[in-house]
Amino acid sequence: MAEGHPPAPGPVEADRADPIFAENLTKRFGNFTAVDRVSFRIHPGEVFGWLGPNGAGKTTTIRILLGLIRPTEGRLGVLGFDPVSQTKAMQAQVGYMSQLFTLYNDLTAIENIRFYGRVYGLGREQLVRRQQEIIQMAGLEGREDTLTANLSGGWKQRLALGCAIVHNPRVVFLDEPTAGVDPISRREFWGLIYAMAKKGTTILVTTHYMDEAELCQRVGFINQGRLAAVGTPDELKQTRMRGQVLEIETPEPDRAMRILKEAQARKSLPLEEVALYGAQIHVVVPGAEEYRHPLQELLADANIPVGNLEWIVPTLEDVFISTIRETADEE
């Protein structure tokens, strides 16, 4: 397909069932392929996490879905619209909140909501009703007339979400919405995300907090423009982790660490990763049962007492890092 060739014509009826889909989505900037044959579907009312290292293609994908940049190749649809040819009609039903919370600091909370309401072309009555709903949803009662500049991080973040959904969109894109916000506010924010999903809104969210990724119903790992894995957090933990994590407890973690790093360097044991976690050490080995004993022996030979040596369920972060390394190794 020639560079800049428009994607296939508008999505067919069958694609309307899934509010967001992409098939072989590709975006090249000159010689650089930012998004490389990515295919996925997001179901109605789903909270889908989009994860990847910086520069992996997360934001580019979102911008294509929002109709802000044109894909080089592939088919895609948002709410039955083609974001390339039906941009305006689609955008009227889509909300977007970026990490930068594009709020006007010199306007009050309610003025920001009204401003966005007018941008989205809400009528007067509709706006009056909607602004009340949003103030309530964001827990901003009593702060309607506070200058946005004087709101704390958590309030600002919820106000930004309110502004992004003032037009009652059926699909919402959230690009790192919780960066720099305290844990309590993050919890409240995720409560809002699930309240929206429950009403049928479909949500695509990117985050660097792996514990938040655990909250998504399904997640996609993207690396170097390619989709490395898609599934529920539990599925990915069961199927995508290369090796198993053993947690070693010892009164001498620093010395044990040195011995293990040495074994890793000599390749006398296949240790994918050796990392200090406070008083414990996490070791990634091909099989927990198989390598428990050799590890115990190695440490015993160095006179290092070992307390517990347990297989632990990997975190989504463990799985993510393992998947990214695997795709990097295949390069």
Partner 1 sequence: MTTTNEIAISAQGLVKRFKGRGGAVTVLEDITLEVKRGETFGLIGPDGAGKSTTTRVILGLLRRDGGRSSVLGHDSMRDVYMIRAESGYIAQQFALPADLTVMENMRFFADLHGIPAKRQKGRIAELLKFAGLTEFTSRPAGRLSGGMKKKLALACSLIHEPQVVLLDEPTLGVDPVSRREFWNLLGNLRAERGLTIFVCTPYMDEAERCNQVGLIYKGRLIARDTPAGIKKMVPGRLLEFKPAQFETARKIVAGLTGVLQVQTYGAMLHPFVDDLELRRKEIEQALTAQGITWSGMRAIQPRMEEAFINLVTRQEEAENG
Tell me the closest approach of the beta carbon of residue 129 to partner 1, in angstroms. 21
| 29 vs 277, beta carbon nearer partner 1 | 277
| 92 vs 149, beta carbon nearer partner 1 | 149
| 183 vs 286, beta carbon nearer partner 1 | 183
Which of 52, 71, 220, 225 is close enough to bind partner 1 by CB under 8 A? 52
Instruction: Round to whole Å and give the CA distance between 160 and 104.
Output: 10
Q: Decide the pairing of beta strands 94-97 and 171-175.
A: parallel
Q: Which stretch binds partner 1 (CB under 8 A): 90-98, 113-121, 155-163, 175-183?
A: 175-183
CB-CB contact of 70 with 84 (8 Å): yes
Q: Can residue 139 be called a binding residue for partner 1 (CB under 8 A)?
A: no
Two tokens, residue 276? 């200090």
Tell me the closest approach of the beta carbon of residue 117 to partner 1, in angstroms. 26
Instruction: Round to whole Å and give the CA distance between 30 and 125.
Output: 48
| 37 vs 208, beta carbon nearer partner 1 | 208
Q: Residue ranges of the alpha helices (H) in the chain?
A: 58-65, 87-91, 109-119, 124-137, 153-164, 183-198, 210-213, 233-239, 253-266, 288-301, 316-330
Q: Can residue 181 be called a binding residue for partner 1 (CB under 8 A)?
A: yes
Q: Can residue 241 be called a binding residue for partner 1 (CB under 8 A)?
A: no
| 110 vs 230, beta carbon nearer partner 1 | 230
Q: Which of 43, 1, 47, 38 is nearest to 19 (CA)?
A: 43
Compute the C-alpha angle 158/175/205, nearest 5°: 90
Instruction: Round to whole Å and give the CA distance between 144 and 140.
Output: 6
Tell me the closest approach of the beta carbon of residue 49 to partner 1, in angstroms. 11
Tell me the closest approach of the beta carbon of residue 166 to partner 1, in angstroms. 22
Q: Which of residues 142-161 bind partner 1 (CB under 8 A)?
A: 152-153
The kind and range of the H/E element at 78 are strand 73-78
Name the β-bridge partners of 73: 26
Q: Can residue 275 be called a binding residue for partner 1 (CB under 8 A)?
A: yes
Which of 34, 38, 134, 197 is close enough to bind partner 1 by CB under 8 A? 197
Binding site for partner 1 (CB under 8 A): 47, 51-55, 152-153, 179-185, 187-188, 190-191, 193-195, 197-198, 208-211, 215, 253-255, 257-258, 261, 273, 275-279, 317, 320-321, 324
